[in-house]
Every structure is written in structure tokens, then in C-alpha cells.
Structure 1
Amino acid sequence: MKADRADLLELTPEALVALANAGFVKRAQKEMAEGKAPALAQDADGTLHATYADGTRTSLAAGRSLRDAACSCIASGLCRHRILLVLAYQQSCRDGAGAAQPAHDTAAVAGEGARAGLDESTSDSPGGNADRQPAPSSDTVAEAGTPAGGPWSPADFDDAALQAALRPATLRQAVELARARPVAKLAGWRAQAPAPTAHLPMCTVRFFSRHSLGHARCDCQEGGGCAHVALAVWAFRAAAARQPGQTDATVEIVPPEPDGIDAAARLADAQVLRALAAAVDALAGQLWAEGSAQAPLALAPRLGLVRSLAADLGAAWVSADVDALAAQLRDQDSRSARYDPRRLLDALAGLQGRLAAALWAADVADGTGTARQPQPLLPARQILGLGIKGEVTLDHLKLVSLGAAMWADGGHPGAACGAAIAFADPDTMGVVALERSWPKAEAAAPAVPLAQRRIVGNPLGKLAASQVVTRAARRRANGLLEIGSGTRQTNVLPLSPQAWNDLRPPLAFATVASLRRHLAQAAPSCLLPRQAIQHLHVLSVADVAHWGWDAAAQTLHANLMDAEGQCCLLRCRHSSGMPGAVDALAGLLRSAEAGGDPVLRVAGTVRVLGGALEMEPLAVMTQARAVVLAAQAANATTLPAGIAPPPAPHAALAGNALALLAQWLREGLRNQRPTAAERARELSAALARAGLEGTAQRMEAALAGLGGGPGASVAADWWQLVLWLAEVESAALHPVPG
């Protein structure tokens, strides 16, 4: 057998899982281990033919992807025979090369490559066409089925390769998409992650072969051979042109042809952006002056103007910020359990910060900024979310639950309840959320427990503790997920104790230090895409120590210790929407403390407070089971008393200042008594005594507008102060001697 199909030789089991599905790969590996490999033949043009014992024949032409292979079996799309052809070809090339060291033991690989033993779903999405096929090196043959060679980049694919792999209509579609100048976040080749990846605004493209674009995998409905593959290649080219050899980058995709956007159109966009920033500042001025508790009708005109301008500009993340702000205002007015004064404060400051950063980045890009200004962290288009579609239909998708958050209002009129289930995509390490809400039942009607309400044909509690395999999913720009109700297209399987094993950075981390570094290196939240669930991660746990119940704060806290002995503080707050969460977590901690079922991983939302990592848990993975805390029934039990360690002094001071600002935003500056300024100046003096003179000066400057409500300049001071205090609250600062 000639070892001239380099694209097939470098396909690892993980790549085959991504290109097909885990069920096909697991079964194919099992048949290889049982000696049921097909008989292979190869034509002069490189076409491979496989003949199986049952008479099935499979053919794969040179330069074609797995989706383009022809098979005589009854499957309408991908099947295990295509995977068996690749595995048998790799084995044949290894045997022919006489490698000194045997390759993977197929039985062992079957356990590693299969992901959760999913069923053999099929797919009929179109694949790519032929592209370049250089002859493989002897190293590639010896290591068939493993990551071969050194670093490489999809930028190496030239125009001829794109034209051979993609249809002309697909390339024209890619050019049209590129004219919107979307922004891509690139993750280059690494030895531990050898598939270069392009995170586009609405989908993710991974490159599993340095020799063939046919094996590029996109999570859109087409699955591969789509316009997104061309966009990803152009993004890697742009990164290589800007800084050769750079592994990771965030770049704006420029079409290969002139996009025809003239200076007048760019000027019009700039004018809309400035008008939008002015409208947001006016809205912020009204909120700060009169308070967020004012009648919704008083805010409706300004909110409507901001929404209209954001839609005219096509700024997806600005629209999402406005929606988040409006939702908090509605929740406050309806006395919903979802209202949080601090979250409202952050939403308003983040919206103003995003627009200010975008204006600055646009000025620097246009050359109108000063020469001494530093380069912006991100392009203005990415900060604003320009050129992003509303939603995208996804291909065959596997999702793994990371837990759920449930909420329930009190008994007031208009009360509601709801839930958000967090899912991880093990292929892209992305997080999506499935949200639902329902009006609470009338007093005379029997109340349906929240965990028993049905989503996608399943009880909420069951779905929150499941793995989902579906071909009926649509994802919105903000990470919200919709799944069709067709049972034939969606399978729901229990969440096994091994379900999180394949999760890796930037979603799952083995140590507290690595997760803290990831959070520290991320751009400020106001510059990142607005997502339904922010900062959700999985952390590995070596031990749990010093846990207890703080009755005053209604919070169960525990110290999670990693393998390096570093600590993450776990905080589980009691909530009426999740009455059994605290009891369930206490039972897990008590069992682990007694030497029973140990806690191995915890999933939850994380933040850094005073340099220390804190997590609000959603789900816990032990050695024997997976537990979604919100889905557990309440079980009254006696909890050991304990008080969480206080945050660092500077973090506590910054938190107190932010709580005071959140109160002022709710009440309005014009409604404050003279004692309000005295309290703020006491806080300012305490900040100065703690060595935070710059923060104290910023607070004093903002207080200048406390008397009669802020004008435009003072409104800007307030959002800058909020963002500054948030950074101080999270920073790891050392106390000042003396």
C-alpha cells in the first residue's frame, strides 16, 4: 500500500471523532481490534477501495473528505465503514514502513478516542472537494494517526488550494461575508492541541490536516466545505502578515478583493457610532440623576433611541448590552428575583465602557488618535460586534451539561420562574445556555415544581443532568441555544462521571493558578462579547477543607484545594429557585470528608476577589456520579457553622464603594441626602489610608456632580469609576507598610 495519502495518515482518533462522531469511531476501533479490518486496494490515482466481509464496498478518492466517500451500506451519510477505511489504511502504512515502535494499540485507543460512547448518528452534510496532496514524509508514515510534524498554519493554504477545495459559489459567499469585516480569534498549532482553530463570530473552524482543506471541520450546519473555512484561512493569513510566527491572534478578516466601501460609508458609520455613544451617555445621565427606580415609561424613549441606533450600526454586542440593561430595569420594576443592584450597575458601566473603547479604537485605526496613544487591545468591530448574524444553524452537535441556575419570584402579581442550563461543547470548548421562563401558577392552581417543567420533551431536572446529541440546534450570537422538538433529531443521555474528562482550557483547568492566569490575561468584560453565561469554568479538585454554613449570609462555603495545594473558595448561596442546592452540596462535602465518594471536579461561575479565586457552583462531579445542584430536592439537615474568610482589605473597600454606587443608581443622585456625600468621602479617605490614593482621587472627582445630578462629563466619570473600582476589587494588591 502506497503511503501517499498524507491527509489520511495524520488524522488522529480525536480528529475522526470531530469529522464523524464518537459512536462511529468507537465501533470502528473495536472492529479493528477484533481483526475485522477490510481488504484494501489502491488505484494509480490514489483512490482507496475497502471491501468488507459482508460485501460492503467503500471508496475514497484522492483529495476527498470522509463525507465525499462512496459506500454501499444503507447509511445515508457518514458511517463506520469510512472510519474503518482510514484506520485500516493507517495500519497498512505502518506495517509497510516497518516502524520500529508499534503505533497505538487499537483497543486502548478505542477507550481514549471514543467520547462518552455516543450512538451511531449519521450525517449527510456536504463535504469539501479536492486540494493539494504532497507526499508524506517517513515520519508521517511512522506516526500515522498521531499529530505529525512541527508547527504549521492554515495560512499555508494558497488560493489554488481554496479553489480546489471549495465550490466557486462558496468562495463568492465567503467574499460577501468578508466584506462585513468580521473579527476572528485564532488559536494556532500547539503540540498539546495540534488542530489550529479559528473562532469566528458565529461558528468555529478547526483544521485537522496540513495537507487537505477537505478535513477542515466547521460547526455550522454544513459541517465543512463551507464559506467559513475560507474566512478562517484568510484570518490566519492576516495574522501571519501582521506578525509572522504568532501562535494566537485576534484579527479583522479582510476580503481578498476590494470591498468597495468608500470613505463616505465609513464616515457614516463613524457618525452613527458617535450618535449612539451620545444617546447612551444621555440615558446614563437620566438614570444617575433620577434613579433606576423611576417609571419605565420615563426611560422608554431613550432606550428606544439607543436600540434603534445600535441596530442601524449593526452592533450586536451593544444591542446585547442594551438588552441586559433593559432586563435588569424590568426585573427591578417587577420585583423579580433576577434583579441585582450590582448587576445593573455593571451593565450600565459596561455599555458606556464598550462604546468609549470602540470610539478610541476606531480613532486609532483611522489615524486620528494621538501618536502617544497605545494600540487598542481589540479592533473596534470586535468590540461592537459588527457583521455578526443573529443566529446560526448547527451541524451534528454534542453537548455536555455543566449544571443549571434556577430562579423563582415571590408571590407578587406577574411573578415568574425560570432556569438556564449551561452546556459545554467538547469539540470547541464553547459554552451555550438553554433558557426558559414561565409565569408562576395562580394560587388556586397546583404548582408544578420547577425541576419537573419540560424543555425539549424532557423534565428540566433531567435535561440539566444530561448529555445531548442533536442535529436540531440553533445558536444565537450571545450563546443562547434553541433545540427543535423533534425527538428523532435529538438524543438525551445521562451525564456520566466521565462526561467532563475531555474538557480542557480555556474551559476546564487542572489548577487554581492556571485558571487565575487565564482570567487575568482576558480582556475586560466590557470589551468581550456579551454572553448569556459569563466566566463559567470547570476546576479539578484534589481535596475539600474547612467547609461550613454562614447563617447570616445564607451561604455554604468551602475551600477547594488543587493538586498544587492552592485554594479556591466555593460559595453556594441559598435561593428559593434552588431550595435543594445547599443541602445537596453539603451531602457531597460530608461524604468526601468521611472518606467516601471524593469530589473530583466542580463547574461554576468564577471571579477573582482580591487576587483570590471564588466560584459559585452549578454542578459537582465525583468519582461515582454527576450532581447538578439546582435539580436536587431539598433535604433538611444540620450544617456545621462557619464563616467565610473576609476578602482582602482593598477588595472589601472597593466592594463597599461599588455597593454604595449601586444604591445611588437605584435611588438617583438628586434624591440623596447630605449624609450620602459624607459616607462617600469617608470611603474615599479609607481608600487613601489603604494606599489607594489614585482610587480615592477618582472617587472625589466623581462626587463633584453629586449635588444636582451629573452632566455629560460627570456621567462619564461615574462609569469610569465603576470600572476602575471593579478592577481594584479583583486585583491582587499588597498592603502598604505602616
Structure 2
Amino acid sequence: MTARAAVRADLLALSPDTLASLANRGLVKRATKDLDAGAGPDVSVADDGLVRAVYEDGTQTELPPGAGLDRGRCSCAAPGICRHLVGLVLAHQRSAAAGPEAVAAADGEPPAPWSPGAFGDEALAAAVGARALARARRVFEGGYTAEVHPATPAAPEPWVELPTCTVRFPVPGEIGHALTDASPALRGEMLALAVWAFRAAGARPVEPGAAALVRLEVGGGHHPSRAAHTALDRAVTAVDDLLADGVAHAGPLVGGSLRSSGTALASAGLHWPAGVVADLAAQVEAYGDRSAAHRAEDLAALAGELYARHRVAAAGPGAYADVLGVREAGETALRRVRLVALGCRVRGAGPATCAEVFFAHPEAGVVLVLRREWTAREGDGTPPPSGPDVGTRRVLGTTLRALATGSLISESARRTAGRALVLGRSRVATTTVVAVGSAWTSLPEPLLVRDLVAHTADWDRRPPRLLRPRVAAETVRVVELSWVGPVAYDPAGQRLSAEVRDAAGNGAVLSAGYDPRCPDALDVLADALAEGAGTRWVSGVLSRAGGRVRIDPLAVLTPAGVTVPDLAPAASGSVPASADRVPPPVGGPATHRADDDVATTVDRALTALAEAAHHGLRSSPPSVLSALDDAGDRLARCGLDRAAGLVRAVPAALPRGVTAVRDAWVEAQIRLLVTAELHRERDVRAG
């Protein structure tokens, strides 16, 4: 091997973990073994930075400057990144007499923050190739969204989350060695889009101390196309008709019409409104089927969300990326990924049972959701599948219970814009499930939360839920606990709760409600949280109520392993025997009864609006009109004068026609949805 005459700093900075991510760990181990056995190549570095390696068997390998391993050339027949390219990097590091750790130690200082956006398109073409650059340019012309995380002294690795993948830049000052969870065929294109996102973010102001520019829109004209506007207008018109006539009077074709509108919205690139319309169609069809999945309040909330997003679209181009999901990619194929299961949530309505398995994607820093549904056969008396039942069902060659407590390694995974996980079957691209072990404890932030206060610090700056991106598992996280208090059970509310503290000592409430589809979930959860169980990590959905963080648990990690309460095998009882049968202190000592009255009043007003939409705004029965007037009076007594006036305006608009009634209903619905969300989250102790 050559002496240390010339070195490539980018190759010296490639750690074994980064090499394993670019290729795979098996190739790294084999190349290391060959070097240790003295079978390494002769390496030379040209004046222009081209690294050449010649092996004893005559195999020749080259790696141009500014390019990643995927752009290297090798005379062997192996496709993609081969062991010879990995051996070239390792041999060059050894010939320089310093690996990545030694170089970092020699510097004595962390690398200065840098931005991939500083690289021009010429360097980008050298890193990804002309074809990938041309494909990326077509996407750029249409526009796309990105969440940019610039490098900081505390986190020197810049990264960006694109609609359906993540791109990281682990080597300071180099873009060719970027890591992405996109498939190899899409790697170059995604790398170019990430660089352009950093370039666009460079012109945007960053708040002091901010670690990210959230939901940046890159390229395009920043306007939905004419086809997108037309599709959105048609969807709103369909909902106009639905509300005017009422869900109770909707014909059998309404659901199909809404489904068609949702498809048109997705084709036009408006994925968030498309999801709203699809959910509306499901609600209408559920009512037609007399299914328990239908709730008038849910349908009304979806209608309010669609109107809110449509109003933003009509107002101007300010927040299309967040509100409409403009130009989000429908699906993106992922390269070989390892996903860590975080548990499962089982819910049912009528004869159907749905299971959602949550997976942490460590490289992307997000949670993906795999959905499966089973329906009992009608007419034969078969009960709907329960949580323990679906836990034994086969999914991808294993049981759902094993899938929800393991790590998934797949070469045929796809990720949607809404963070749903799609797994295909292939004889070539395999999918395997292994034990999760202690993988939870090594998850990166923000997937693993040690400080709930810091994690939720920016929640107050979020837009309302009805305008946020419609992504699954938005707040599913693993929380490290330092203390678990006594478990308490409220028989009236059928809810199990416990006071807990995170690793930083911040208090929170862990709370789970009873679901008949999972009869023994609370028993299992109580046992896992009991004193002496050793529970230190819990996965769940984070929310805020009364200024406190709440954790709705999905799974717990104890010294015995991961336990998923919803999939727990049936036991003798259905009431938590190990919990004290007393209401838990979930609201804190400063919770006021008046605050409960406000929440109840807002909920009653939303119910009255939902009933109006259910029966039809064109001719709501007197009982509904009376309920709206009464809701307005109650809101006024609680001090919500603006909301009270909007609710009273609905029946008052009847003489002016159905359009006036609908406009008044939309104003009241949006106002109350936002009021209910803010009221649930605000700290009542603050005033």
C-alpha cells in the first residue's frame, strides 16, 4: 500500500458505521478481515484526487473526487457498491495512518457548521450523475417540501427530511457520501433535492437558537396548478351539497363521488385535502352501512378541516406546503432499512378490527405506521376479532405480536407522504423480523425523549391540527422514565392512570382507557407499571391537556422484554386487579371545575353543529335549531362571546338561504374546533 503522501480527507472521515450505511455491515467486516490478513490492495492517489486500488487478483477500483461510493468504478462483476470499493476506503485510511477517530482527535475541535447548499450544480453533477440531476430538476420545477435541519455546533451533521425520505450529510464539507433511506435508484435524485433545499434555506432567516426550518417549500411556482385548484373546488362543492342535504339524506352515490374527488386531489398533488376527503367518504359509507365507525362529530370535524384548508388556498400562496401538501410524493421506495417496532394500537368498529403497528425509523427520525384490518364474516355469529386474536394473525410470515415487538429489516419497503409504511413481497427483496432487544434505548432524538418539557417547547407555535400536515404517528415517541408512581383505576371513566417522571425529572401523566376489543390491556399495563416491574421506557402517543404532557401508552419495555397491552393474550378478568380503584390525580391540584364546564360547553356546541350537518343545513329540525341557540347561550355564559355569536348565527341565517347557513356553520365549526384544541392543551394553572 502507498505511503501517506496524499490523502482524501472525505475518505478519512468515513466511520465504519457510515460505511455500513452506504454499503452494508457485511461488506465492511469482510473488507476489514481481508486487510487484517494482508490481502488489501495497493492504493494510490492522483494529483486530481482520484483514488485507485489494485488487488492481488487483478481487480482494479477507482473513486473520483467529490463522488460517493455509488459513483465508484470497479472491474469486478458485483453490482452497486462492492467489497473492493469498501476495501479501497479502508486501505486508504490505513495508508494515511489515521482513521476517522484519529483525525477527529487530532483536530481537538468539532467541525465548524457547514451547509450542503454551498455546493454548486457542477459539484452536484459530479456527485450524483447527470441523469439523477435531470430527474431532480424536473421535481424541482414542480416544487416540493422539505424540513431543513442546518448544522450547529451541538449537532454538526446537517440533514433534511423530504416528503418521503431523509438525507443526512455525515462527512463535513462533502455531499457525495450523503446517507439516505431512499432506494439506490433514487439516491442521486434525493441527494440533489436535499442540496437544493439547503440552498433555498440559506436565504431564509433563522430564529436564534432554532435547530430547523420547518416545512420549507422549494422550487416550483409556489402555487397549486389550475388542475389542483379545480380538484379542490369540486371537492368543496361536493361537501357543500352533503351538508346542505344532510348525511342522513345522502344517497348511495355520495360516498363514491367523494372517493373520486379524493383521487383527483391526490393526482393533483394535494395529498392533505385528499386524505380529508377520503375520510369523509369513509364516514358517509359507514353511515350507509349502519356501522359504528360513523360519528356525526367526526364527519363535521372533517368537513371543517376541508373548508379551513380551502380558505388558506384561496387566500394566497403563503403556506401551501403545510396546508395542502402541494407536490408531496405519493410513495418513495426505501433502501434496505431497519425499523424498530414501538408497539401496536388495536381499534374496532362493527365487524372490523384495525391494527396499527408503529415503527421508528432511526435514520429518518420519524415514525411510520403499518396498518392491517380484519373483518368478521357476517351472518355466522363470529365475533369481531379482538386484540389477542389479531396478535396471532400472520403478517409477513410472522405473527402480528412478534412484528409489534421486533425489528423489521426490509428491502421492499415504501413510505408514503403521510408516513404510512407499505411492504411488498419479493423473492429477491427480503423482509425479516428479529428481536427488538434494547433497540429502544439507543434511538436518536427526537424518537427517544428524555426531557418532555424541551421536546414539547415548540408545540405552542404549531398551527391548529386542522391545518397541520396529515402525517401518521405525529407524536408517537419513546419516553425514558426515571420514576413511575402508583397505578390508579377510575371505574366510572374506565381509565388507568399513573403519575410518571421522565429522565430529566419532569412530571407527566400516563393514561389509558378501556377498549372492549382489548379486554385485558389495562390488566397487562397495570402489571407492567407496578412497583418492582422495572419499567424505564414506554412508547406512546404524546399530547397535552391542562398544560401537562400525557402519554397514551402503546408498549412498555421491562427487563423481561417489550409488552404490548393491546395484543396481550386473554386472561381471567377484564378489570385491572393490580391497580387501586380510585380516580388518579390526572389534572393536578389546580384543575378547576369551571374549566371542565368550558370543555363540556364547547363539546356540546360541536355536537349541536354536527347534528345540524347530519340532518341537513337546508332544513334542520326545530330540536337542532333549539340546541344551537342553547349552545350559544352556554358559550356566552362561559365568556366565549365570539364563539357564541357564531353559533347563534347558524339558525339566524335560515331566512337568507342554505348558502348563508352553510357559511355561518363553517365559521362556527372552525372556530370551535380550534377553541377545543387550544382549551385542551392550555395550562389552566396559568390563569
Q: Which TM-score applies when normalising by structure 2?
A: 0.83
1:363-378 correspondence runs (5 A): 376=318, 378=319
CA distance in 2: counterparts of 1:143 and 1:507, whole angstroms: 31
Structure 2 counterpart SS, 1:608: strand
- Percent of pairs with identical residues: 30
Q: Kindly provide the amino acid, as one letter, of the partner of residue 503 in structure 1.
A: L
Q: Does 1:718 align with 2:665?
A: no
Could you say which residue in structure 1 is the equivalent of 2:334? 394
1:262-281 correspondence runs (5 A): 269=225, 273=229, 278-281=233-236
Cα distance, 1:197 vs structure 2? 1.9
Could you say which residue in structure 1 is the equivalent of 2:275? 320
Q: Does 1:152 align with 2:114?
A: yes
CA distance in 2: counterparts of 1:653 and 1:91, whole angstroms: 71
Could you say which residue in structure 1 is the equivalent of 2:538? 602
CA distance in 1: counterparts of 2:543 and 2:198, whole angstroms: 32
Q: Does 1:729 align with 2:679?
A: yes
CA distance in 2: counterparts of 1:706 and 1:538, whole angstroms: 50
- 1:352 aligned to 298, 304, 307, which one? 307
Q: Kindly provide the amino acid, as one letter, of the partner of residue 721 in structure 1.
A: R
- 2:491 aligned to 551, 554, 557, which one? 551
Structure 2 counterpart SS, 1:489: coil
- 1:200 aligned to 148, 158, 162, which one? 162
**How many residues are matched?**
661
CA distance in 2: counterparts of 1:56 and 1:578, whole angstroms: 63
Whether contact under 8 Å (2:411, 2:431) holds in the other structure is no
Could you say which residue in structure 2 is the equivalent of 1:622? 558
CA distance in 2: counterparts of 1:314 and 1:103, whole angstroms: 45
Moved more, 469-478 or 211-220: 211-220
Cα distance, 1:664 vs structure 2? 4.5
CA distance in 1: counterparts of 2:82 and 2:267, whole angstroms: 46
CA distance in 1: counterparts of 2:405 and 2:426, whole angstroms: 20
Cα distance, 1:730 vs structure 2? 3.1
Q: Does 1:418 align with 2:354?
A: yes
Could you say which residue in structure 2 is the equivalent of 1:42? 44
Cα distance, 1:444 vs structure 2? 4.8
1:679-694 correspondence runs (5 A): 680=628, 683-694=631-642
- 1:180 aligned to 142, 145, 149, which one? 142
CA distance in 2: counterparts of 1:163 and 1:68, whole angstroms: 11
Moved more, 554-563 or 693-702: 693-702
Whether contact under 8 Å (2:339, 2:408) holds in the other structure is yes
Structure 2 counterpart SS, 1:241: coil
Cα distance, 1:334 vs structure 2? 3.1
Q: Kindly provide the amino acid, as one letter, of the partner of residue 713 in structure 1.
A: D
Distance change (3 Å), C-alpha of 1:585 and 1:735 = closer
CA distance in 1: counterparts of 2:529 and 2:305, whole angstroms: 37
Structure 1 counterpart SS, 2:142: coil
Distance change (3 Å), C-alpha of 1:182 and 1:585 = same
- 1:253 aligned to 213, 218, 227, which one? 218
Cα distance, 1:176 vs structure 2? 1.4
Distance change (3 Å), C-alpha of 1:531 and 1:155 = same
- 1:239 aligned to 183, 201, 221, which one? 201
Structure 2 counterpart SS, 1:194: coil
Cα distance, 1:307 vs structure 2? 3.5
Q: Does 1:523 align with 2:463?
A: yes
Cα distance, 1:331 vs structure 2? 3.0
Structure 2 counterpart SS, 1:537: strand
> Which whole-Å deviations, capped at 9, do the CAs of 1:637-677 have from their partners, x for residues lacking one?
52421324357534454344434444554455577665655
Structure 1 unmatched ranges of 5 or more: 97-101, 105-138, 363-375
Cα distance, 1:59 vs structure 2? 4.3
Whether contact under 8 Å (2:135, 2:189) holds in the other structure is yes
Q: Does 1:589 align with 2:551?
A: no
Structure 2 counterpart SS, 1:189: coil
Cα distance, 1:164 vs structure 2? 1.6
Cα distance, 1:253 vs structure 2? 2.2
Structure 2 counterpart SS, 1:572: strand
Distance change (3 Å), C-alpha of 1:338 and 1:82 = farther
Distance change (3 Å), C-alpha of 1:491 and 1:176 = closer
CA distance in 2: counterparts of 1:605 and 1:81, whole angstroms: 45
Distance change (3 Å), C-alpha of 1:510 and 1:343 = farther
Could you say which residue in structure 2 is the equivalent of 1:537? 477
> Which whole-Å deviations, capped at 9, do the CAs of 1:538-570 have from their partners, x for residues lacking one?
222222224222222222222222134433222
Could you say which residue in structure 2 is the equivalent of 1:125? none
Structure 1 counterpart SS, 2:316: helix
Cα distance, 1:505 vs structure 2? 3.5
Distance change (3 Å), C-alpha of 1:243 and 1:302 = same
Moved more, 86-95 or 612-621: 86-95
Could you say which residue in structure 2 is the equivalent of 1:479? 419
Cα distance, 1:156 vs structure 2? 0.8
Whether contact under 8 Å (1:217, 1:224) holds in the other structure is no
Distance change (3 Å), C-alpha of 1:514 and 1:735 = closer
CA distance in 1: counterparts of 2:275 and 2:78, whole angstroms: 42
1:156-175 correspondence runs (5 A): 156-175=118-137
Structure 2 counterpart SS, 1:67: helix
Whether contact under 8 Å (1:432, 1:533) holds in the other structure is yes
Whether contact under 8 Å (1:94, 1:142) holds in the other structure is no
Could you say which residue in structure 2 is the equivalent of 1:636? 572
Cα distance, 1:470 vs structure 2? 0.9
> Which whole-Å deviations, capped at 9, do the CAs of 1:401-457 have from their partners, x for residues lacking one?
1211223444xxxx3333221212110012222222233135659887322222222
Q: Kindly provide the amino acid, as one letter, of the partner of residue 12 in structure 2.
A: L
Q: Which TM-score applies when normalising by structure 1?
A: 0.78
Structure 1 counterpart SS, 2:460: helix
Cα distance, 1:83 vs structure 2? 5.0
Whether contact under 8 Å (2:483, 2:500) holds in the other structure is yes
CA RMSD of aligned residues (A): 3.9
CA distance in 2: counterparts of 1:238 and 1:515, whole angstroms: 27
Distance change (3 Å), C-alpha of 1:173 and 1:544 = same
